[in-house]
Amino acid sequence: MKVTILYEDNHLLFVEKPVNIPVQEDSSKDQDLLSYLKEDIKIRYNKPGNVYLGLVHRLDRPVGGVMVFAKTSKAASRLSDTIRRNKMTKKYYAVVRGRPKKDTAVLKDYLVKDRRKNQVYAVKPDTKNAKKAVLDYEVISEKEGLSLLAINLHTGRPHQIRVQLASRSHPLYGDQKYGSSVNKTGQQIALWSHNLRLEHPVRKEEMSIKSNPPSNYPWNLWESLY
């Protein structure tokens, strides 16, 4: 695994998560990002014993882009509080099939996750265990029947972006789980964590860390991304 470090200090570690890597150990037993980063810190700083690294948010396994980890328990607690208060701005790029009717919109849904199937569904608000999901998007451009969207995520529900857009007949390019009728096996899902903005948990200064999508299809349809 090769992981790009985007920013690091005594409290925080921002990295570019590779695609198709689990954030933490799962039933696949494949190498996961959290374990890799702990071992990397241990080696780079010659640390004895166990290394602390707090996981405060997640990205789906097939999704790449910027993530932040906490290097101390104090930073982890404060970052978790920042996320709970919806004070961490999370911007994504996504490539979807077709073009949404509106160039900008706020999408609000209620989602339920079937943990056994690892599948999320948009349901009626009064459905048991349903959780509110909110995002806003802007259509940046359209090419070859695909649209590039900039998305601001207001809630962090599992598979949220994928389900909310697929439920409106605009599944993400390459998403076989929620767009199997239009996507083919082997296509890489086109969803990228582009920018995290937050207040540093100790120094209290504003931070903005970015990561651009890879320069392969379909991202390379839009040179402005680079």
Domain count, the chain: 1
Does position 161 have pLDDT exceeding 90, yes or no? yes
Say how many Å lie between the first and final Cα of the chain, rounded: 24
Task: Give the span between the Cα atoms of 7 and 54, in whole angstroms.
Answer: 16
pLDDT in the model for residue 128: 95
Write the Ramachandran bin of 72: left for phi over 0, alpha for psi from -120 to 50, otherwise beta.
Answer: beta
Does position 225 have pLDDT exceeding 90, yes or no? no
pLDDT digits (tens, 9 = 90+) for 27-58: 788 899 999 999 999 999 999 889 999 999 99
Task: Give the span between the Cα atoms of 162 and 16, in whole angstroms.
Answer: 20
Residue type at position 139: V
Residues in the chain: 226
pLDDT in the model for residue 157: 93
pLDDT digits (tens, 9 = 90+) for 72-88: 999 999 999 999 999 99
pLDDT in the model for residue 172: 98
Task: Give the span between the Cα atoms of 80 and 56, in whole angstroms.
Answer: 6
Average the pLDDT over 125-132 and give the result.
Answer: 96
> Could you tell me which residue, 27 or 128, shows the higher pLDDT?
128
The CATH number that applies at residue 130 is 3.30.2350.10
> Could you tell me which residue, 218 or 223, shows the higher pLDDT?
218
Confidence of residue 226 (pLDDT cuts 50, 70, 90): confident
pLDDT in the model for residue 93: 98
Task: Give the span between the Cα atoms of 147 and 141, in whole angstroms.
Answer: 6
- Residue with token string 């930073």: 75
Give the domain extent around 133. Answer: 4-225
Task: Give the span between the Cα atoms of 41 and 159, in whole angstroms.
Answer: 30
The average confidence (pLDDT) of the chain is 95
